[in-house]
Structure formats: structure tokens, C-alpha cells
Amino acid sequence: MDAGTRRILVVAGLWTFGLLLVVGKLYQVQIRQHEFYKEKARSYIEHKRTMQAARGTISDRNGEPLAVDLMHYSLAAKPAQLVEKRAVARKISKIINESYDDVYSKINNKKSFVYLAHRLTPEQAAQIRDLSDKGLLLERKFSRSYPFKEVGAHLVGYCDNDNKPGAGIEFSYDEYLHGKDGSSIFLRDAHGGQFPSMDLPTREPQNGKHIETTIDIVYQGILEAELGIAVNQHKADNGSAVLLNPRTGEVLAMANYPQFNPNEYSKYPVKNFKNQAVSDLYEPGSTFKMVSL
């Protein structure tokens, strides 16, 4: 075999080897790792937004709401997509009742996402939408409210700032009250703008179920007031009282002292959240006479 033939064979071999490498890489990417790269590409163009479900209402036996969800909005911005930042800051500051300087300092930075305000009313949210600025985002949220404050707090419990249950009925029946959050898919364009996808499904949120208790909030208020007086008169550390319907055994009221306001739960020590009427041991005393006699 002469030198020319060997040279041709070497070049052909190298070319074939290179071709096999390319084919192998294509097989690796397009066949074996197809789903991986598909999801990676999708993450660049798709953005999933969660739509929070409202918690169910807790009410007394007469339908009086003991715990309800209040709807509000959070305002966020994508500074890179805001063109007239000074004009936007002036308009927003008037709507959310914040100073122009504070709003402008938040949107005049290199962050990709920044919150501007929380707990906006539906009316304020409508004014934000009227600005029609793609760099502004509104998120619908819910927060828990307890109309009767301290009254019935140990029974009802509380939810934290993220609407997560911490005690009482809120915690014990969370799977019924919570509901299921929804979601929607938005697509990103080359400039980072977002628009809803017409092809990808939107899952609507399913709100939580309502719970009606046997409690009568009028009796509950009276029982708590009388318990507070008794505890203070006897200089006791705490106290509990239960009011039952003797015919049916229904709990009409259940009180504990000291109290707490679930709307401001973070201001109270954890021990105040305990429902001592059902969690502590006590001597039955005269209530046991019906058994012994």
C-alpha cells in the first residue's frame, strides 16, 4: 500500500470517527435525553402562576362567621420591563399611598423581580390594571380574619401570615378548609414579557369547604366574660369552662383563660393558644357523682 492510499484511509477513518461522534451525540441529546432538554427549554419560555384557593368559613350554629378569608392583592414589578420608571412611580405612589421616592428606589434597580406593596384592596388593584403596564404584576391572595377577635379563639384557632393553620379547628380540619390551589401557564417572549398560553390548560382553584359548629357565639361571649371574672377574683393562673346542651350533649360554648386575639396571634405566648378544656387533666370532682352513685 503506497503512501497516498494510506493517507486517504487515515482521512476517511478520521472523518468516519468524527461522523460517529456527531451521530452518537445526536442520539444522546434527541433520544436518550429528549425529555430532559424538553423540560429545560420549557422552563425558559413557560411560567407557572399559582392561584390561591380561599379557605372555607367557620361559623357558629346560627351562621355567624367565626373565621373568614379576606381577599387582597400584592403588587410586584419587573424593573427591566418598566420604560418610564419615574412616571410609573408617580402613578403607583398615589394608588398605594406610598412616597414617590420609596417606590422609585424599588423599581430603579437591577433586580428581576421586586414587591412594591401588599394587602391592596380590589379597588386599588383595579387602578393598577388600568395602567396597562406589562412590567407590573398583581397577585391575588387571601388572609384570615376573625370577626369576634378573642371570643372563641381557643376553639377556632388561628392561621399565620401565609394562611397556614396553627391551632384549633383551623388546624384539625385543615384538609376540609384548605381547598386546592389553581394554576395558569404564561409564556415568556424574548424581552421577558409574559402572556397567557391559549394551548396550555388553566386549573381553577377549588375553594375550601365551610364548617358549621355547635357553638353559639352569644353564649360563648357570656361564658368567657364570666370565666375571666372568676379567674381574676380567685387570683388563679388560668381557667376553663364548658357549656353543654343537656339533652343532646352539644357543646354550646367552651372557654379558656387567658385569652388571645387570633388576628394578632404573634403578640401572644404560645401557651395562650392551648385549649386547656380538652387537653389538660383535671380532677372530675362532683361531675363524677353520677357514676359513683
What are the tens digits of pLDDT across the range 215-270? 999 999 999 999 999 999 999 989 999 999 989 989 999 999 999 999 998 899 88
Phi-psi region of 199 (alpha: psi -120 to 50; beta: other; left: phi over 0): alpha
Q: Round the average pLDDT of the chain to a whole number and report it.
A: 83
Q: In whole angstroms, what is the distance from residue 208 CA to residue 54 CA?
A: 6
In sequence order, what are the residues at sequence separation of 6 or more whose Cβ sits closer than 8 angstroms to the Cβ of residue 111?
79
The whole-model pTM stands at 0.68
> Residue 45: what pLDDT?
60
Q: In whole angstroms, what is the distance from residue 203 CA to residue 185 CA?
A: 9
Which residues belong to the active site? Answer: 286
- Bridge-based pairing of strands 211-212 and 58-59 is parallel
Among the residue ranges 33-42, 235-244, 260-269, 275-284, the one predicted with the least confidence is 33-42
Among the residue ranges 1-5, 109-113, 166-170, 204-208, the one predicted with the least confidence is 1-5
Helix then strand count (H, E) for the chain reads 11, 12
Q: Which of 256, 225, 231, 228 lies closest to 241 in space, CA to CA?
A: 256
Q: In whole angstroms, what is the distance from residue 77 CA to residue 79 CA?
A: 6
